[in-house]
Structure 1
Amino acid sequence: MQVSSKLDKMVPVTVLTGFLGAGKTTLLKRILTENHGQRIAVIENEFGPESIDNDLLVQETSEQIIELNNGCVCCTVRGDLMDTLNDLRKRRQQGELKFDRVIIETTGMANPGPVCQTFFMDDDIAEYYRLDAVITIVDAKHGMETLDRQPESQKQVGFADRLLISKRDLVNEADYEALRHRLVRINPRAHVTPVNFGETDLKAILDISGFNLNTILDIDPEFLADEHADAAHAHDHSHEHHHHDDDDDGHHDGCGPGCHHHDHHHHHAHDDEISAFVFRANKPFDPERLEDFLGGIVQVYGPDLLRYKGILYIKGSNRRLIFQGVHMMMGAEAGAPWKSSEKPNTKLIFIGRKLPQEIFTRGLEQCLV
């Protein structure tokens, strides 16, 4: 019980990211002007012309923190995010500022990884703030082109707990489905939702608990169906062909589950650097071997691992182990006991940049009892 009351007291933080022009500023303006009854501190890590204060916060002062009339607080980060968060914490503790939660808007070109790591690296910040989720906005009209041209936009998708697709009305159904399919291939654990910012339910993007260890592992069914089709496809063809599929991260863009007749054409049209794969096993892990292997993998591939999460079946334990990580930082805790009706098993998902799936799979298999 102690854990939940401690979490309740922590200030939840949402990281809002997305490429230039995707609609972050539109969403923020709505948050900063609407009477939603929540006092939200918005930290703007934005230096470009899109910056929100041009329209909303016309002000002559050099003061970094402005209070708005709906109870929100707006800050512009001119320096280090850690300093800003610690400054907000002190001012809140001293009663100078009142806010219930924080939203950090990253610059359109930013990789959200370093922002997320801030919440694990600094003890004061880790004690006071609870990183809730990364929300990434993707523009339906320009999303495909942005993902092709801008590697950072793929990272923004890979890090997300929620993917919001804006400007859905500007594209036809086939183009929307092709984009959605591609987003699922990059990040099958984020819910993908088309969104109209005039009507977004703020509850749908706040309090997601994407970084809580005890949350369930959701993987998009479309991805699992595709993966299953990949495996069946590989089984029917030579091993060499299957290996090629793996290298191109099994990406079949704009094409439904089980559709493979234009594999190579699709692969090279959108050869995404960021992709995902799932590891499953019905045998238990040897805990020591697993710890050694994961420690080694994180040392070697940490910079290219964006998010990884799993429910693990561990030898000698009647509980599932919940495991997750961001880059080189990982954590685990005991989850619910396996029910008598359940067959204990492991399901692990890795999202990262050009990860060698075969090395991960072989290594994890060697850690099984």
Structure 2
Amino acid sequence: MTQPVPVTVLTGFLGAGKTTLLNRILTEQHGKKYAVIVNEFGEIGIDNDLIVDADEEVFEMNNGCVCCTVRGDLIRIIEGLMKRKGGFDAILVETTGLAKPAPVAQTFFVDADVRAKTQLDAIVTVVDAKHVLDQLQNNEEAGEQIAFADVILLNKTDLVSTDELAAIERAIRQVNSTARLHKMQRGDIALDAIMGLGAFDLDRVTEIDPHFLPDHECDDACAHHDHDHHEHDHHHHDRDHDHVSASGITSVSLSTEKLINPEKLLPWLNDITQARGPDILRLKGIFAFPDEPKRFVVQGVHMIVEGDTQRDWKEGEKRVSRLVFIGKNLDRAELETAFAACAA
């Protein structure tokens, strides 16, 4: 069976530096065959001498990559790419600067044919260090793009001071406490830092970084809080550390050492995503069920939720169930109570 092609969704606010990054992918001799799907090819500004072959929508570059323009249905474009000879190492889909990432991400869940042939690999958000604080204050889309990210590329770091950069990182972590964050200038980033990561696969990420879903997120404000954590306390709800951004997006992390009853958990997750889907940008969870040697992993985008058993719990590994919501209008107390009620 052919392996599904990994898909990276590239997002970022207007002027963040997506085009510079795309130019590198389409022109550098990196030895990979990437398909890049953009909204308007003209905006990329590729020298025509670099184009080997072109039709109305597909431009074949001299480094083996292909650039496609989306003038209609994204699903149709992807299906067309999958029929091309030779295949691709990965597909990268650019969203417009004002677009929310959710509809693009959902494409890879809702269409059966696309889902069978591709796998959402990561949502990568390019952030303009010089302007991100203003954007978070004034533009809902900027906050959602950061909240959705599996990888954040903090670009133009040479345009801000060390103190400003620290404040920017804190602001980003208030919106998204779990994404990988890379600092860069002029879009200069190793492509393997953004492509082929499996970052949307929560299980793989937690194998690489066991602290990916943190029990506790800490910033400078920690100095002002008292902490009294005990190993025998089975529910950890970091009440003082909800992450709130100026755009109204928060992240709520819950964890428990009690086993979880799937007959309680799964209907609750289904109910809450159906009722509150527009407000739930991302949902990620790892759960320990009774008499189940494998970890159960859940991923959600708005009203779409899917879960499956993944690898075995390792010998000596603490069976902590963790659940993270990223979204708007999240009621921590309500989520705590409902999650606690899912205990076996």
TM-score (norm 1): 0.81
| 1:197 CA drift (Å) | 3.9
1:357 Cα deviation from its structure 2 partner: 1.8
1:276 to 245, 248, 251: 251
- SS of the residue aligned with 1:348? strand
CA distance in 1, matches of 2:107, 2:318: 38
Distance 1:249 1:213 in 2: 21
Structure 2 partner of 1:219: 212
Q: Aligned ranges for residues 80-159 of structure 1 at < 5 Å?
A: 80-90=73-83, 92=84, 95=85, 98-159=87-148
**SS, match of residue 314 in structure 1:** coil
Cα drift, residue 24 of structure 1 = 0.3
CA distance in 1, matches of 2:212, 2:187: 29
1:204 to 188, 193, 205: 193
Conserved in 1, the CA contact under 8 Å of 2:213 and 2:322? no
Could you tell me which of 7, 22, 26 is aligned with 1:28?
A: 22
User: What SS does the corresponding residue of 1:134 show, helix, strand or coil?
Assistant: strand
* C-alpha contact 1:273 1:354 (8 A) present in aligned 2: yes
Task: Kindly indicate whether residue 165 of structure 2 is the aligned counterpart of residue 165 of structure 1.
Answer: no
Specify the alignment match of 2:232 in structure 1. none
User: Relative to structure 1, is the Cα distance of residues 230 and 350 closer, same or farther in structure 2, using a 3 angstrom cutoff?
Assistant: farther
1:196 to partner: Cα distance: 2.5
Deviates more, 1:311-320 or 1:14-23: 311-320
- Residue 341 to residue 108, structure 1, CA distance change in 2 (3 Å): same
Q: Is the 2:205–2:212 contact (alpha carbons within 8 Å) kept by the matching residues of 1?
A: no
Matched, 1:305 2:299: no
C-alpha offsets along residues 56-78 of structure 1, whole Å, 9 cap, x if unaligned? Answer: 34899761111111111111111
Tell me if the contact between 2:155 and 2:187 (Cα under 8 Å) persists in the aligned partners. Answer: no
Distance 1:196 1:129, change over 3 A: same
Match of residue 43, structure 2, among 23, 47, 51: 51
User: Per the alignment, do residues 302 and 123 of structure 1 end up closer, same or farther by CA in structure 2, a change over 3 Å counting?
Assistant: same
Measured in 2, the distance between the counterparts of 1:66 and 1:27 equals: 17
1:12 matched to 2:27: no
Query: How many angstroms does 1:228 deviate by?
Result: 9.7
Structure 1: 5+ residue runs without aligned partners?
1-5, 236-244, 252-269
Tell me if the contact between 1:133 and 1:209 (Cα under 8 Å) persists in the aligned partners.
yes
Q: Which has the higher strand share?
A: 2
Residue 43 of structure 1 and its aligned partner are, at CA, apart by: 0.5
Query: Shift of the alpha carbon at 1:323?
Result: 1.8
User: Residue type of the partner of 2:152?
Assistant: L
Larger helix proportion of the pair: 1
Distance change >3 Å, CA 352–CA 105, structure 1 → 2:
same
Shift of 1:274: 1.4
Equivalents in 1 of 2:134, 2:327: separation in Å? 20
Contact 1:185–1:223 (Cα < 8 Å) also in 2: no
Which amino acid is 1:348 matched to?
L
Q: 1:166 to 1:133 in 2, by over 3 A?
A: same
Q: CA RMSD in A?
A: 2.8
Percent identity between matched residues is 40
Q: Does 1:360 align with 2:313?
A: no
Counterpart of 1:341 in structure 2 is 316
Match of 1:78 in 2: 71
Give the match for residue 266 of structure 1: none
Number of residues paired by the alignment? 328
Question: For residues 311 and 177 of structure 1, do their structure 2 counterparts lie closer, same or farther at Cα, with a shift above 3 Å needed?
Answer: same
Gap change, CA 1:314 and 1:61, over 3 Å in 2: closer
Aligned to 1:67: 60
Letter in 2 for 1:51: E
Q: TM-score, normalised by structure 2?
A: 0.87
The AA in structure 2 aligned to 1:164 is L
Query: What code does the residue aligned with 1:20 have?
Result: L
> Which residue in the other structure is 2:233 paired with?
none
Alpha-carbon spacing, 1:168–1:222, altered in 2? closer, same or farther (3 Å): farther
- 1:69 & 1:141 partners in 2: Cα distance? 34
Can you list the C-alpha shifts for 1:323-357, whole angstroms capped at 9, x where unaligned? Answer: 22122222222233334423322111111122222
Distance 1:368 1:227 in 2: 33
Task: Return the letter of the residue paired with 2:277.
Answer: G
> Is the contact made by 1:42 and 1:104 (CA closer than 8 Å) also made in structure 2?
yes
More moved, 115-124 vs 323-332: 323-332
Q: What is the DSSP-based 3-state SS (H/G/I as helix, E as strand, rest coil) of the residue aligned with 1:225?
A: coil
Aligned residue type for 1:174: D
Cα displacement string for residues 88-108 of structure 1 (whole angstroms, at most 9, x for unaligned residues): 223x1xx3x753321111100
Structure 1 residue 306: deviation in Å? 1.5
1:177 corresponds in structure 2 to 166
* Distance (Å, rounded) in 2 between the aligned partners of 1:165 and 1:27: 12
Would the aligned equivalents of 1:186 and 1:275 in 2 still touch at CA under 8 Å? yes
Shift of 1:229: 3.8
> 1:309–1:227: structure 2 CA closer, same or farther, 3 Å change rule?
farther
Output the amino acid matched with 1:225: C
Q: Deviations over 1:210-236 (max 9, x none)?
A: 22253244437696124994994599x
